[in-house]
Each structure stands twice: as C-alpha cells, then as structure tokens.
A and B are shown apart, each in its own frame.
Chain A
Amino acid sequence: MQSQTLQESSTVLSEHSTEHGHPDHRLFGLVLFLVAESMIFLGLFAAFLLYRATSPVWPPVGTPERELLLPGINSLILISSSFVMHRGQVAIKKNDLSGLRFWFGLTALMGAIFLAGQMYEYFHLTFGLKTNLFASCFYVLTGFHGLHVTFGLFLILMVLYRSLKSDRYSSQSHFGVEAAELYWHFVDVVWVILFGLVYLL
C-alpha cells in the first residue's frame, strides 16, 4: 500500500507540479476570487433594483432619454472579444504562440475600444454623477465595471508581454492565459447583466 501511494503521488506531481511541489490550484483560487467579485456586483445590482422598486417613477423625472446606439455597439464589441480571446487559448493549446499573440492582441484592442467608447459616452452624456439617484447609480455601476475592464486589459497585456519570451507558455503550461481569459469572460458576463439593468430596464 505504501509503495502504491508513493507511485500515485509522484505521477500526479510530475504532471502539473509547480515550484511549491504540489498540483496547481491557482485556477481554483481564481474561481473563488471571482465568486467574491461577483458578490460585490450583486450587492450593487441589488441596491440598484431596490432603488428602482421603491421609487415612484424610474428613472426619476428629468432624466434624459438614454442613447442606445453607442453603448449597443460597444457591448457587441466587448461580447465578441470574449470569443476572439478564446481563439487565443485554443491556439496555445496547439503550441501556436503567434496565434496566441494575434488573438490576445485583437482582444486587447477590442477592450481598449470599449473603454474609449465608454469614455466618449461619459463626456457626451447630459447628466452628471450628482444629477439624481439614477445618474449616480449609472456612473458608479458602469465605472466600477470599467475599472474591471481596465484590470482585465492589464492582464491581457501582461500575457502578451510574457508571450514575447518563447518558452513562457506552452500547450502544457499556460495558467496566465487561462486566468486572463476567465477574468475577461467574467467581466463580460457582468456587462451583459449591467447593460440590461442600466440601459434597458
């Protein structure tokens, strides 16, 4: 029994061992972190819905009509970037490093366009942070999400930078790629809900 256990544990170790000498749990840890992150967003969404449910008129009287064209295009760009990004992970699983660079580069570009679009929207909206409760919610929710997009973009650029070294990522070891992608998908899903709440509801 003793030797059997030894054999088992050493095979496990040789497959995905890290510097700490145990299997890689980083993706699991990231998932737990995203659970916590989604609870912040859920808290903010709950607050938004409570305001909406308890206000006699929503959005409050005097809120200008919400322009949907630009944010609509922006959303399409962000959502499609998730599919583009996935191609990058598919590429690295085939050891195709230039494929990873191409698809991740494209994702970064799309993310940057989204952020620029949001900036443009902020500067051209006719209401400000303090106009009324809806306006405050609008800016805090989209701004907090924008912060997450920025961080996701930073992760993608990190992966791109690290992929310049030819031996950093391989089909066997590419935690950074997976982590950045998982985070980006999370940011995307949050945006879909957020868009429904602040633009459509």
Chain B
Amino acid sequence: MTTPLEVSNPHQIDNPRERKWQDYFTFNTDHKVIGIQYLVTSFIFYFVGGFFAELMRTELATPASDFISPEFYNQALTLHGTIMIFLWIVPAGAGFANYLIPLMVGAEDMAFPRLNAIAFWLTPPGGILLLSSLLVGAPQAGWTSYPPLSLLTGKWGQEIWIMSLLIVGTSSILGAINFITTMLKMRAPGMDINKMPLFCWSMLAASALILLSTPALAAALILLSFDLIAGTNFFNPNGGGDPVVYQHLFWFYSHPAVYIMILPFFGAISDVIPVHSRKPIFGYRAIAYSSLAISFLGLIVWAHHMYTSGTPGWLRLFFMATTMLIAVPTGIKVFSWCATMWGGKISLNSAMLFAMGFVSSFVIGGITGVMLASLPLDIHVHDTYFVVGHFHYVLFGGSVLGLFAGFYHWFPKITGRMFNESLGRAHFILTFIGLNLTFMPMHELGLLGMNRRIALYDQQFQSLNQLCTWGAYLLAISTAPLVVGIFLALFRGEKAGDNPWNALTLEWQTSSPPPILNFNNTPIVTRGPYDYGHNPTEAESVVLTDAQSL
C-alpha cells in the first residue's frame, strides 16, 4: 500500500493560485489541465470519427452505392481510420497518462511542463488540418496510404494528410519524452520502480515504442511527400521506385502503433481490476515486465502485414514466429487479470463492467490475431472483412472499452463528482451489444470473401452487412447515456470525496480534483500499490496507522 506522509515540502510554492475555467482553453503547463485538454479533444474527435463510420455503415446497408458516392466513401474511410487512431485513441491515452502519471508517482508535475503543453497544442491544429482536407478533396488511400494508390488519388488531400500526421506524430514523441523522464526520474521518495502502478509501467512500454517507431513513419511520410510534390520516384514503380519500401517503413511504425494504442489501456485495466475486486493484483511483475516484452516483440513483427507483398518465404516464417510469440506476454496479462478477479469481492460498477468487457472482447481480437499471424490463413483472408473484424475487436473491444473503464474509474478523481451508475451501466450494455453486433459478422463476411475498403459489394453479403449497420447505429445510441451522464455529473453530480473506491495508489491520496501542485506534502511511499483485502477496514485506516507509526 502506498502511504503518503506528512512531510513539509521544501519547495512548496507559497501561493498556489486557484484553477480558472479559462485555463482549459489556453497554453497552460499544469499536467492536469493538459490531461483534460487531451481527453476532451480526443472525445470530440471520437464523435467526428464515429460520424464517418456511421456514414460508411449506412452506405454499406445496401450493396449499391446509393447513399454516398464511392469517392466520398473512400474519403470517409480514410478519415475514419486516421481520426480514430491518431486523434482519438492515441491522444486519449496521452490524456490519461498526462493526468495520472505525475499523481501516481507522487510528482508535482511532468518533467518538462512547457514541452508538455506544446505537445498538446499540436494536436487540435493537426486534427483541424486533417479535416480541412475535405475542402480540397480528402485523401482516399485509407489510413495506410500505400503508394502507388496514394500517389494517384488527389495530391493535396494526401499531402494534408501527411502534414497532419507529422504534426500529431511530433506531439506524441514529445509526450513520450515527458512520460519516460517523469517516470524514471521523478518518482516520490520510497517509490521503487517495482512499486510503480501498472498504468505507469504500461505507459513506459508504450512511450518507448512511440520513441522508437514513430520516427520511421516520419521517414516514410517525408519520402512520400517528395514523391507527391517534387515528383521523385521513391515509391513509384514507373520511375524505378519500390512501394514495398514504404510498406516496410510504414509498418515499422504502424504495427507498434497497435501496442501504443492498447498498452495504456492494459495499464488502466490493471489498475481498475484490483480496486473493484478488492484483491491484490495477481503477478505484478509479470504484468509489468510483459508490457516491456510486448514492446520489444512489437518492434520485430511488422512484416506480418506484408505476407502478400512479395515477402520471401524465410522472412514470412520469421515474422510469423515473432507474431505468434506476442500472444505469450499478452496471455500472461489476461490470465493475471482473471486470477485477480478470481474470488474477489467484485463490485459490478461501470468501471468494472467495462474492464470485464475489455478482457472478454480483447481475447477475441487476440485469438483472431494469432489466426491472422499464421501465413496460410492470412493469405486467404488478406484485405477482407475478417481483418476489419479482428482489429476492431482489438481497438474497439480492447482499447475503447479499456479507455471507458479508465474513464469511469478516474472520473471522480478528475472532476470531483460521481458518475450516475445507472447511466454508466446503460452505456456499457449498449456498447457491448453494439460492438459485438457490428464486428462479429465481419469475421464471417471476410471468410465468405467480402473485400474491405469498397463501397459496393455482392448481393449475397447484404444480410450480414445490415446486421453490422444496425450494430453501428446501436453504438451511436450508446454514447447518449455517456454524454448525458457527463453533464449530469458535472452540474448535479454527488461530490466524490478524495477516495470513493478506497483505492491505494497515490492519486487517490489527495483531494478530488487534486490541488494545483497535486500533493500538499511530498508523499513518501513505503509499500506496493495493490495490497487490497488484507485488512478488513481497508484503505484509509491503514494509511492513518502507518502515518502514526512512523
């Protein structure tokens, strides 16, 4: 258990000023303000990206192109993918990381607060720039933007897409520098790295990936830009270039990007489950180090996206083996979460429901991932809806449900108000049904041979597609209780108090929302973060006893 002690802070600022609402709209260096800025921005883009998804699903309700034109369908699918990845899940992870890391390690702010604010303020312009491409004809080559397709489908839309990704990518690199430095260098006295909350561990792993892989995407995009604007032929086979080089560089980033998107929420789940099961986490070190193993393996699996790109046999075999190996550290985590819940006093509140939903649907995405790793099956279903189903189970069933688990868990800390439980549960039930209804039929569609990324399809696929479309509408409806709940909590919500869940990590040992410098006194940590269930009277009393005994 973490125990904050009353120690006078040697560098306490005399007059911590009050938080004003204007702070959230300006260049503010407080990590909590930046965290909220990231979260609000990413939630807005969630709705924008969701809007494009609904357009696509509406179009796909019938085999003919009768709702939007095929060109606009391509634009919608490119914007949907790009927004959901780069402007929803990645910045939402950064939002949680910004808000929580300094609190969790007992620091008063990030290591580089100004750099942190710069990183945030790159995000909204990047997003607006991306959307502005609609004015000149949005990019149509999908979020992967493979050349030569991306060289043929509208120069300026594609170039705007590149610029926007470079901006957002820079933002995430700067964020990662901050996270790593804060976690490695600024932990409170007594917080050994092996006492760090698991969310921090997973952010450490994700930040390392951001640092090592995002630059490769930048390299690919710089060369693609030259091809588009200056007329070079790096990726254009007509001029002696090689599109496969782009694929290598792109996937060297974009496969790790999957882990950049899922690791933060692995961490969030590892913090949510013990609290609401009232049990110590099962296998702390296994979960912590398996994140690092995922990071390492994540860097050497990229070519499994390129089985059908003329990759030689020995290389396919290598990447098949490494890809399947990733199931091991991931499986370790899933078993640890289940073992943590086993025999616990589980309270089925919204956070815990989303966490359990995360574990179950992520397992489906993980298993189809192993299926896709195996070469013979992958060649068969490459570029079909099976792949779409797979990665939506990972990114929606995984990342997004994990994100909402974290959202409901830390909402009282961030806002100081309780979220209405009935609305939260309604949100979960609608989301969970909607998600399975939307993405489960896609596996079958893929096995039947329906191609991804096209507005038109064969008559025989219609009934399954309509199922997907109804699911997508249900997902749209599922956000209603969320939005209503947020406003209800902000204006009418019951006060949360410092520690409504009786949690032991440091962020719960300060007020809700925390004061500007986080802790009135520098906390000193004496024990691990997940020692639940040992003492029948639970958290606060234990903290007090320890403070007295020292």
Instruction: Evaluate contact between B185 and A25: CB separation under 8 angstroms.
Output: yes
**Residue pair B219, A1 in contact (C-beta under 8 Å):** no
Determine whether the beta carbon of B242 is less than 8 Å from that of A50: yes
A 105-140 contacts with B by CB, 8 A: 129-130, 132-133, 136-137, 140
Contact residues, B155-177 vs A (CB, 8 A):
173, 176-177
Whether B232 pairs with A136 at a CB distance below 8 angstroms is yes
| The stretch of A30-38, A86-94, A96-104, A168-176 that contacts the partner chain | A30-38
Which chain A residue shows the least CB distance to B184? A28
Query: Residues of B within 8 Å of A, CB-based: how many?
Result: 53
Q: Report chain B residues within 8 Å CB of A32.
A: 176-177, 180-181, 211
Complex Cα gap A8–B524 (Å)? 13
CB < 8 Å neighbour of A136 from B7, B213, B234: B234
Are B177 and A29 in contact (CB-based, < 8 A)? Answer: yes
B109-117, B120-128, B273-281: which lies at the A interface? B109-117
B225 — nearest CB in chain A belongs to which residue?
Answer: A140
Question: Which chain B residues lie closer than 8 Å to A80 at the CB level?
Answer: none
| Residue A83 interfacial (CB < 8 Å) | no
Which A residues are CB-close (under 8 A) to B252? 43
Taking a contact as CB atoms under 8 Å apart, the answer to whether B233 and A133 are in contact is yes
Given contacts A50-B248, A129-B232, contact A29 B111 (CB under 8 A): yes
Say yes or no: A43 contacts B220, CB within 8 Å.
yes
User: Does B249 lie within 8 Å of A46, measured CB to CB?
Assistant: yes
Closest A residue to B217 using CB positions = A43
| Contact A47:B214 (CB < 8 A) given known A25-B111, A28-B181, A32-B177 | no
Q: Does B16 lie at the interface of the complex (its beta carbon under 8 Å from any beta carbon of A)? A: no
Cross-chain contact of A39 among B107, B216, B226 (Cβ < 8 A) = B216
The closest CB in chain B to the CB of A39 belongs to B215
Cα of A47 to Cα of B180 in the assembled complex, Å:
29
Interface string of B195-236 (1 = CB under 8 A from A): 000000000000000011111101110110010001111100
Interface string of A20-32 (1 = CB under 8 A from B): 1111011011001
Assuming A25-B181, A29-B181, is B215 touching A40 (CB within 8 A)? yes
Could you list 30 examples of A-B contacts with CB < 8 Å? A2-B524, A2-B550, A8-B189, A9-B10, A13-B10, A22-B11, A22-B111, A25-B111, A28-B184, A29-B181, A36-B173, A36-B211, A37-B215, A39-B213, A42-B215, A42-B216, A43-B220, A47-B219, A47-B223, A47-B234, A47-B245, A54-B242, A55-B240, A60-B240, A129-B230, A130-B233, A132-B240, A136-B226, A136-B233, A137-B234
* Closest CB pairs A-B (n = 3): A43-B219, A21-B11, A39-B215
Binding site for A on B (CB under 8 A): 5, 7-8, 10-11, 13, 107-109, 111-113, 115, 173, 176-178, 180-181, 184-186, 189-190, 211-216, 218-220, 222-223, 226, 230-234, 239-242, 244-245, 248-249, 252, 522, 524, 550
